[in-house]
Structure 1
Amino acid sequence: MEIKKASTAGTLESSDIMILLDRGDNGIDIELKSSVLYQFGDQIRAVIEQTLLEAGVHNVMVIATDRGALDCTIKARVLTALHRAVETTDYKWGV
C-alpha cells in the first residue's frame, strides 16, 4: 500500500491512542509519546510495526500519542488511519 496523504485516527482520551500517518522514505519510522513508555513502549511499537507490515506498508512515518491503549485499540487505530491515508474503502477487518 502507498500512503497518498497524511491521516489520523484516535483521540487523546484515556485508554486510547492518536495515530498520525504520513509518507515516509526510510522504512517504518515511529515517534512514540506515552504515559507508559518505559513499561510498554516496546510492545506499542511492535504492534504498530506488525500491523503496518501485515498491511504491506514499508515506508511510513508514524507519530503515536498513547494514553494507555490496549493492543487491539492500537491495531484498530493504525488500520483506520492507514485506510484513510491510502484513500480506500476496501476494508478487510480480521477477527
Structure 2
Amino acid sequence: MEIIRTGMAGTMESSDINVVIEKQEAKGIKIYLNSSVEKQFGDQIRKVILETLEDLKVTNVVVRAVDRGALDCTIRARVQSAVMRAANKENELDWEVL
C-alpha cells in the first residue's frame, strides 16, 4: 500500500496508543516507541506494529508510537487506521475479523 501523507490515530489516554505513520525515502520500516510499559512489553508492541504493517503490505515508513498500556487489539486497530489515513483510503478497510 502506498503512503502518500502522514496519518495518525489514537490518543494519549490510559490504555491507548497514539500512532503516526510517515512515508520515508529510505527502504524499510523504522519504529520509534515511547511506552510506559516498554521494559515489559516493548518487544511485543513492536511485533504487533510490524505484523500489522506487513499484513497491509506497507513498506518504507517511519512509525512513531506513544503507548499508554494498550492491548494488542488496540495497537493493531490504531496502526490500521493510521495507515489508511496516510494512504487516503480511510473508507476501504475490510473490518472483518480474521
Which interval holds the TM-score relative to the shorter structure?
over 0.9
Whole-angstrom CA distance in 2 between matches of 1:71 and 1:59? 23
Moved more, 15-24 or 84-93: 84-93
Aligned to 1:4: 4
- Percent identity reads 54
2:75 maps to amino acid: I
Aligned to 1:90: 92
Whole-angstrom CA distance in 2 between matches of 1:84 and 1:77? 11
Task: Provide, for residues 40-88 of structure 1, a one-character-per-residue CA deviation record: whole Å limited to 9, x for no partner.
Answer: 0000000000000010012110000000000000000000001100001
Deviating 4+ runs (over 2 angstroms): none
Whole-angstrom CA distance in 1 between matches of 2:65 and 2:27? 17
Q: TM-score, normalised by structure 1?
A: 0.97
1:1-95 superposed matches below 5 A: 1-24=1-24, 25-88=26-89, 89-95=91-97
1:3 maps to amino acid: I
Two-structure CA RMSD over aligned residues (Å): 0.7
Q: Displacement of 1:91 after TM fit?
A: 1.4
Whole-angstrom CA distance in 2 between matches of 1:36 and 1:91? 29
